[in-house]
Copies of this chain bind each other. A is one copy, B any other.
C-alpha cells in the first residue's frame, strides 16, 4: 500500500531495459548522442511542433528553474498559484536560477482563474521602476492538489498572459496524467493554448529521472543550453537520459503508465467515497487525492503499514473521531489488491 508519492515506486521495466541496451560501446557525450536525435524527433512529432527546441534534464526542479530563468529577467516576477511546486517545494531554486526574481502568488487555490490572474498581473507595474516587473505566468497541470486544467482553461490563462505580452510556462511534472484525464492532445494542452515552454515530466511516471524542457519557439535555445551547463545540469553520459525518454515515448508507454496511475486513483477514490464519513477535499481528477476520515481509520492504516502523507494533521491525538486528511498518490505500478485493502482498512 504505497501511496506516498509517485516518486517512490519502481521504474517501468521497459525503461530499465532501454538503459541496459544503451550501454553498448561509445557514444558522443553532452547530448550529441544518436538517441537524443531520436528523442528530439519524437517529441516534435508528439507535440506537432517541428521547430521546437528540446532538452533533457534529470530533475523536475531543474526543468522548471531553467525554463523560468530563460523566460524571466531578475527584476521581474513570476505569476503562479500559492501552492505551486516552484513556490513551495523547490527551496528557492526559481529565485536562484532567475538571479533573484520574485514569485507573485495568484489567488488562494491550486487553480488560477483568468480573472484573478488578470487582477494580479494588472496590479504589478503600477509602481514603475520601484516594483518588480511583470514576468512569466507558470501553470501547473496536473495541479499540486490533483485537479486538472482542461486545455481550454490553460488557453484562457495564457490569453490573459498574452494580453500583457508575457510568456507562459507549464509545469508538467504530471503532464501525461493531465492529458489522459482531459483527452487533450499534447499540442492542444501547450502551444495551441498559448504555452511557450513546458517542463515535460517523466520521473513521476515511470522513469529513473528525466524531464524534457520544450521551447516551442527555439529563439532562446542557445541561452537555455548555456544556463543548463552553468546550472550543472548537462550530463556527459547523456545517452542514459535519452534512452529513458525514448523508451517512455515508444509505443505510447508514457500514456499507458499515466492511464494506469489515474485508473488506480479512480479505483481508490471510488472505494473511499463509498465509505461513510470519508470527505474529499478536491475532486481527484488524475493520480493524486486529498480526503479526510477519522483518526481511527488512519490508525488502522498505519498499523498495517500503509504509506501516505497525513496533510497538516498528526496521527497522535486523543480523539479517534477527529477527521485527519490524507494525501494519496498512485503511480503506474499501484496494485488493485493494495487499493482495495487500503479502502477496507479505512472502512474498519
Binding site for B on A (CB under 8 A): 2, 4-5, 7-11, 13, 16, 19-20, 23-30, 57-62, 65-66, 73-77, 88-93, 95-103, 105, 126-127, 129-133, 203-204, 208-209, 223, 225-237, 240, 307, 312
A62 contacts B92, C-beta separation under 8 Å: no
* Contact partners of A97 in chain B: CB under 8 A: 232
* Contact partners of A57 in chain B: CB under 8 A: 232
| Chain A contact residues: helix, strand, loop or mixed | loop
* Contact partners of A5 in chain B: CB under 8 A: 29, 236
Given A102-B92, A203-B237, CB of A10 within 8 Å of CB of B30: no
Q: Which of A20, A58, A102 gathers most chain B CB within 10 Å?
A: A58
* Contact partners of A232 in chain B: CB under 8 A: 57, 59, 61-62, 65-66, 90, 93, 97, 231, 233
Can you list 11 pairs linking A and B with CB atoms under 8 Å apart? A9-B25, A59-B236, A66-B232, A74-B230, A88-B127, A91-B130, A96-B100, A96-B231, A97-B232, A99-B100, A231-B231
- Which of the residues B74, B89, B93, B131 comes within 8 Å of A96, measured between beta carbons? B74
What is the minimal beta-carbon distance from A25 to any residue of chain B, in angstroms?
A: 6
How far apart are the CA atoms of A74 and B99 in the complex, in Å?
A: 9
How far apart are the CA atoms of A105 and B102 in the complex, in Å?
A: 12
B96 contacts A230, C-beta separation under 8 Å: yes
What is the minimal beta-carbon distance from A93 to any residue of chain B, in angstroms?
A: 5
B2 contacts A26, C-beta separation under 8 Å: yes
Q: What are the nearest 6 A-B pairs in CB distance?
A: A7-B236, A95-B100, A62-B232, A61-B232, A2-B26, A91-B229
Given contacts A57-B232, A73-B223, 16 further A-B contacts (CB under 8 A): A4-B26, A10-B26, A11-B23, A11-B237, A19-B208, A74-B95, A77-B92, A88-B127, A91-B130, A91-B229, A93-B231, A95-B101, A95-B102, A100-B100, A208-B237, A232-B233
